[in-house]
Structure 1
Amino acid sequence: MDLKELIPTYNKVKEESYQYRFTIFTPVFNCEKSIEKVHQSLINQTYKNFEWLIINDGSTDNSHEIIERLTNTSSLSINYINNPENQHKMGCFIQAISLAKGEFLLTFDGDDECHPNALKIFNEEYLNIPTNLKNKVCAVTGLCEDQFGNRVGDTYPETPYFSNTFKSTTLNNIKGEKWGFTKTDILKGINVNSQIFSKGLIPESIIWNLIAKEGYITKYINKHLRIYHVDIENSLSSTSVDKRSYGSALDSIAGFNWFFNAYHFKTPKYFLKKLYVLLRASKYLPYNLGDYLRAIDSKVIKFLFISLWPFRKLTI
């Protein structure tokens, strides 16, 4: 299949009515030791207008049995989906969008915790968005801390800080784990070719950059809401370079096509890095040089890619 046909696209959809304020989405792969901790964090929430959507992504441990017990005994409203085959986190995320009954979708991994007032703060921060920005703001995102109370990642230059994922990470160099919700109506406008779900890990950045390309912004806040456990391998997203190759290639090509014309002078390092990543990924993919050139829009990037193609085997 043409590489370009695997890059997500966007079509705005009509607003819907939702049963809950939030859908808390937890993708699970072998989380038998931590899923009850996630459940307890949600039980402790002071804001109660949410559902918990759990998608078990083909776990091989006892996750299914534990989740079934929670589903049958918990006071929470739980929608549990047990996928027989692993389709990776991106596949689960797109599945969650179609299933969400909440106005806002918030991903909450199977080994995380959050502060009891996290949902309350998210809701208040959304309500406080100026009226003239409400239609442009697609998300509210806060900070994370580790299990020892230390901040994980950078803070924002001010709070609230209105920007988008591409600008905040690429132009302002704000790095590290963050946590936030996105409007479900906006996520429903994302079109993803289902063939990519079987091609390994697809980075979430391709989704957030697509939303940024469409002109939506995020309200960022310097408040610690999620407890992100460091030094614990995430089985859902941990994989080798070759198994990330499809995702890396698509993310790189999308970055060129969506942002190069507007930002090549402002952030040349970003595009040079993506060029290297694409060359490295190409070693593992069944495409020839012409396939990549047809997928890339920029003539400048095409020229650089052709020039560097003979040296791609030197990438590590």
Structure 2
Amino acid sequence: MKFTIFTPTYNRKELLKKLYVSLQNQTFKDFEWLIVDDGSNDGTNELVKDFLKEKKLDIKYFFKENGGKQRAYNFALEKAQGELFICLDSDDEYKNYGLEIILKYLKKYENNKNLAGMGYLSTYPNGKIIGSAFPKDELIATQFEVYNKYGVTGDKGLVFFTKIIKKFPFPVFDGEKFITEAVVYNRICRNYKMLYVNEKIEVKDYQKDGLTAKYNNLLLKNPKGQALYHNEINFEKLSFKQRFLNNAVYYKFCRFSNYSCLKSFKECNSKLFFVLGSFLGFIMWLKDKKNF
């Protein structure tokens, strides 16, 4: 099997119908649709039963207790059987030729064993690119470089070789149900590069009650994962200003995590900048604590 298309879903019954049609329209058909239902109570299970009866797609459906996207993602990685792994949220779609285009480019670069996968453009439903395009039509770089060296902005679609991404499960913390996907992507980019192409493949229809809409509060509710993210950013090549601000934010999320100052300092991967950024981080913490 060539692709595993993984969809984590939580009370998104109506959106799944649209994605279901999108996947049926793919010009390349060799894929499984792995749906991980993260505790929905809106009748999602009944809808998927109807999908299964139609026998139009190879669907694997799993229901689990609500634990957040990162746990659903790890679960999907354990179950995935495709050579390539794609996460398509319930409010995402693919252009009809999406999988075919992905294969065309990966075939072109099949001899490059340092690639973990490929990134491509995402658009709004009206066709407008989300954020900016890549600086070259075909670019080999890391995910961190794309955003921090080349200045690319906005969400992008991603596909990974399953055997590679299985090596990088999401960290999970008791009491937290979210961690930015960038934690995993940054870990991958310390070992591999990605191919980025200026092809419009993914369509995103952001929901008002989705993760993007309430992102700041989401981070504050899940500070341990965010502290980990900023601590690991210290492994990247940063300017003085970037490293200073990053460790100020790391300090802030450590405070929200109720970590002691000693623990935060000992675990920090840039101790000098932890000290330098701690006062600004304290101010950030006070401000967010008041607003939050």
TM-score (structure 2 length as normaliser): 0.91
Distance of 2:91 and 2:281 partners within structure 1: 41
Q: Match for residue 74 of structure 1?
A: 55
| 1:190 match: secondary structure | coil
Distance in 1 (alpha carbons) for counterparts of 2:251 and 2:278: 10
Question: How far is 1:269 from its partner?
Answer: 4.1
Q: Which amino acid aligns with 2:140?
A: F
Distance 2:28 2:214 in 1: 32
Deviations 1:48-92 (A, max 9, x none): 111000000111322222122212323111111111x21111111
Q: 1:52 aligns with which of 30, 33, 38?
A: 33
Aligned residue for 1:210? 187
Which amino acid is the alignment partner of residue 270 of structure 2?
A: S
C-alpha contact 2:5 2:87 (8 A) present in aligned 1: yes
Alpha-carbon contact 1:88-1:237 (below 8 Å) kept: no
Q: Does 1:61 align with 2:42?
A: yes
Q: Which runs of 5+ in 2 are unaligned?
A: none
Q: Does residue 297 of the first structure (1) align with residue 274 of the second (2)? A: no
Contact 1:147/1:229, CA 8 A, preserved across alignment: yes
Give the whole-Å Cα distance in 2 for the aligned partners of 1:309 and 1:108: 35
> Which among 100, 113, 120 is matched to residue 80 of structure 2?
100
Structure 2 residue 163 is the aligned partner of structure 1 residue 185: yes
Matched, 1:253 2:231: yes
Matched ranges for 1:33-52 at <5 A? 33-52=14-33
**What are the equivalent positions in structure 2 for 1:167-186 lying under 5 Å apart?**
167-186=145-164
Cα displacement string for residues 281-304 of structure 1 (whole angstroms, at most 9, x for unaligned residues): 233212100111111132322322
TM-score, normalised via structure 1 length: 0.84
CA shift in 2, pair 1:197/1:47, >3 Å: farther
SS in 1 for 2:14: coil
Select the residue among 109, 127, 132 that pairs with 1:149: 127
Check if 1:127 corresponds to 2:107. Answer: yes
Give CA deviations for 1:193-252 in whole Å, capped at 9, x if unaligned: 54x2641310000000000112x1111000100111145432598462431312211100
- Of structures 1 and 2, the one scoring higher in RCO (CA 8 A, sep 6+) is 1
- Structure 1 segments unaligned to the other structure (5+ residues): 1-19
Identity of aligned residues (%): 24
Is structure 2 residue 201 aligned with structure 1 residue 221? no
CA distance 1:147–1:197, change in 2 (3 Å): farther
C-alpha separation in 2, matches of 1:272 and 1:154: 26
1:282 matched to which residue of 2?
254
> What's the RMSD between the two structures over aligned residues?
2.0
